[in-house]
Amino acid sequence: MEQEKQTYQPRTLETQLPFSWKRLFFQWEWMLLLILVAVLLFGSYVSPYFLNYPSLRDGTMVFLDKAIIVFPMAMIMIMRDIDISVGSTVALSSVVMASLYTTAGLPMEVAIVACLVTGAVCGLINGLLIVKFKELSAVIVTLGTMILYRGIAYIILEDQAAGGFPEWFGFFGWGYVFGIPFLLIVFAALAIVFGILMHQTTFGRKVFAIGNNPTASRFSGVRVDRIKVIVFMLAGLLAAITAIFLTSRMGSTRPNIATMYELDIIAMAALGGVSTAGGKGRILGVVIAVFIIGYLQYGLGLINMPSQLFLIIVGALLILSVAIPKLGSMIKRK
């Protein structure tokens, strides 16, 4: 790796740049839209049941539950961290909810609240460990908690499955509001909330500031630690919401659900233009990327493609989406 040339120009924030058609045109989001169109065309080419409104609408139920976590994951990656424990957090909160309902006999409402609390506590532990022990880096902390959380889920439920939830609980996974899946509405609402949070509030600005330069932002009075803890807690909380939707859709839960979710989520964020080196990313791109990967999975499922092929495609997409900007700048430098 060659030495980056030191330039002392202050970086201008994107929102402060004057309007230009050129920049509007050369945006990652257009590229993503093109890919999404290609995916939809591919889907309609391989299966006649793919490209119509009911199919596209109900197809979202397959992938949007895990996609909820992509919003806080984008913020974490913008802050140069990573959270690979989210899949285990989903499993643990789901197992806590199910066992409180079935074994402890608590009402379902209480169990759902307990699920959310579990998720938030998992995220809080991640966040606290990361800011209190800075030498450890997020990779190691979340690697440890990833094993720990799933381990606790196994301790609680062993190799059993827990289910038999009340009928109304199925609404989360299968319900419609005004003919639109409830999950899709929740996803859209979260997208708007996180879009505003990241791009219109000082909190969001601070997240970007931390990603661009943690030391400088600390010296300018940004409470880096507090913001990190909050964002990791959000990741845990949204993982718990994912757990509710996922458990409701499957009707029962096991300690091994949601394995390797973190990979899909990180792939969605990276494909959506969130820089893995921190400091860059937009919710709009992330949302389009969610639908690209999601519809790809759905389309391949429709034609009975082995799910392992999907694994390969997600991996390749992740590499391409990270490598293309790098290759571009490598060519420009020459």
Q: What is the DSSP letter of 104?
A: S
β-strand 180-181 against 176-177: which pairing, if any?
A: antiparallel
Candidate residues 133, 168, 171, 203; the one interacting with another protein per rule CB under 8 A: 133
Determine the residue type at 202. T
CA-closest candidate to residue 111, choices 121, 98, 123: 98
Which residues, numbered 178-237, are part of the site for another protein (CB under 8 A)? 215
Nearer to another protein by C-beta: 113 or 224? Answer: 224
State which H helix or E strand residue 10 sits in: none
Q: Does 303 bind another protein (CB under 8 A)?
A: no
Contacts 24+ apart (CB under 8 A), 319-326: 321/267, 321/270, 321/271, 321/273, 321/289, 322/270, 322/276
Q: Using CB under 8 A, which of 55, 163, 276, 301 touches another protein?
A: 276
Asked if residue 129 binds another protein (CB under 8 A), the reply is yes
Taking contact as CB under 8 A, which single stretch among the options 99-107, 136-144, 162-170, 192-200 is the one that binds another protein?
A: 136-144
Nearer to another protein, 82 or 241 (CB): 82
CA dihedral (323, 327, 333, 334) positive or negative: positive
CB 257 within 8 A of CB 163: no
Query: Among residues 13, 193, 196, 312, which is the contact residue for another protein, using CB under 8 A?
Result: 312
User: Considering only 57-65, 139-147, 162-170, 188-196, which stretch makes contact with another protein by CB under 8 A?
Assistant: 139-147
Closer residue to another protein (CB): 69 or 197:
69
Beta bridge partners of 180: 177
> In which element (H, E) is residue 265 found?
helix 261-271
**Which residue ranges make up the site for another protein (CB under 8 A)?**
1-3, 82, 129, 133, 135-137, 139-141, 143-152, 154-155, 158-159, 215, 263, 266-267, 270, 276-277, 306, 308-312, 314-316, 318-319, 322-323, 326-327, 330
